[in-house]
Amino acid sequence: MAHRIAAALLGLMACCLAASAQAPMGLPPLPKVSGVRLYVIDCGTIISHQPERFGLTREDVPDPDFSDPCFLVMHPRGMLLFDTGLTDAQVGRPITENKMGYEGQLKTTTLKGELANIGVTAPMITYLALSHSHWDHVGNANDYAGSTWLARKPEYDVMFGPNANETVRRNYAALAQARIRTIEGDYDVFGDGSVFLLSSPGHRQGHQSLYVKLARTGGVVISGDLYHYSAERTLGRVPPREQATGTPASRKKVEDFLRRTSSQLWIGHALDWYQGAVKSPSWYD
């Protein structure tokens, strides 16, 4: 009898240890997914009425404003958050308080709240990746500094170098203490070919786009700021300030990749794409 009791106690202890390893106390368990899911998350709207800055005219762009989504990839091996949008501190504030240069910023929901709607909290996110460090892509980066940051050295140097924009740096300063994995070239995030960070310099030297291979939707490339308006792509226009940077070569690389993989391109800033997209809490798979 004593042996049976001891064995039962050991079994109970083993179960408790296993459970604690899978779900640390106080944290919800990771959502279990059999494949890859991709969420499009509302991270704000940018009021911008200067398509000329992108080599376009008002006639080329029916609605010159920008959507500003974030993207969450759920994978059986973890989660990747791509971009963090406009800062949550702007929610409920008038646009007169939320201007960056000539552009206004509107935010009606928080990234934290949008993630909570699908059962995700910051500690559950395995990896953080930023297309680049402009203000509309890093607004909540501090909240995800507990994730492993997949960073490219050219962008890191801009973000924390002597010429960093101090106003923008406040939104990502905590990343200086994050776990950093420095990546180069096209990086396979989960090691199985389903999620890649594609090097696409030009808009910024460390700019990157995101490729996700989905079972039903097929391959998707999220452009970051490789394009802003759909008309840039259909009309073959390049922003004047980027014509002598790496943007034309990166666009060719991505277009070749799209053809080779039979993938579609999502231009996150383009309202004509965003309006038809399936938004979180629904997802693409």
What are the C-alpha distances in Å from 225 to residues 27, 146, 221? 34, 25, 12
What integer is the mean pLDDT of 85-110?
Answer: 87
Percentage of the chain with pLDDT > 90? 80
What integer is the mean pLDDT of 229-236?
Answer: 97
Domain of residue 99: give its range: 31-274
Distance between CA atoms of residues 61 and 272, nearest Å = 10
Q: Which parts of 29-158 are beta strand (E)?
A: 37-41, 45-47, 66-67, 70-75, 78-82, 99-100, 103-106, 127-129, 148-151
Q: Flag whether 282 is in a domain.
A: no
Q: Which of 21, 31, 26 is nearest to 281 (CA)?
A: 31
Distance between CA atoms of residues 68 and 96, nearest Å = 19
Distance between CA atoms of residues 41 and 84, nearest Å = 10
What integer is the mean pLDDT of 8-33?
Answer: 42
pLDDT tens track for 233-268: 999 999 999 999 999 999 999 999 999 999 999 999
Q: Flag whether 120 is in a domain.
A: yes
Bridge-based pairing of strands 103-106 and 45-47 is: antiparallel
What integer is the mean pLDDT of 205-225?
Answer: 98
pLDDT at 100: 78
Q: Flag whether 285 is in a domain.
A: no
pLDDT tier for residue 182 given thresholds of 50, 70 and 90: very high
pLDDT tier for residue 102 given thresholds of 50, 70 and 90: confident
CATH no. for residue 76?
3.60.15.10
Q: Flag whether 23 is in a domain.
A: no
pLDDT at 32: 72
pLDDT at 44: 96
pLDDT at 161: 93
Q: Which residue reads 């079972």 in tokens? A: 215
pLDDT tens track for 190-204: 999 999 999 999 999
pLDDT at 14: 35
Distance between CA atoms of residues 29 and 15, nearest Å = 16
Q: Flag whether 19 is in a domain.
A: no
pLDDT at 31: 66
Assign residue 101 a region (left: φ > 0; alpha: ψ between -120 and 50; beta: otherwise): left
What are the C-alpha distances in Å from 11 to residues 6, 8, 21, 25, 50? 9, 5, 15, 20, 67
pLDDT at 23 over 70: no
Q: Which of 95, 121, 156, 108 is nearest to 28 (CA)?
A: 121
Name residues whose C-beta falls within 8 Å of residue 215's C-beta, 6 or more positions apart in sequence.
Answer: 35, 36, 285
- The answer to whether residues 246 and 132 touch, using CB atoms and an 8 Å cutoff, is no
Q: Flag whether 18 is in a domain.
A: no
pLDDT at 27 over 50: no
Least confident of 138-142, 163-167, 211-215: 163-167
pLDDT tens track for 106-148: 999 999 999 999 999 999 999 999 999 999 999 999 999 999 9
Q: Flag whether 22 is in a domain.
A: no
pLDDT at 215: 97
Count how many domains the chain has. 1
Q: Flag whether 71 is in a domain.
A: yes
pLDDT at 93: 86
Distance between CA atoms of residues 118 and 105, nearest Å = 25
Q: Which of 254, 232, 229 is nearest to 243 (CA)?
A: 232
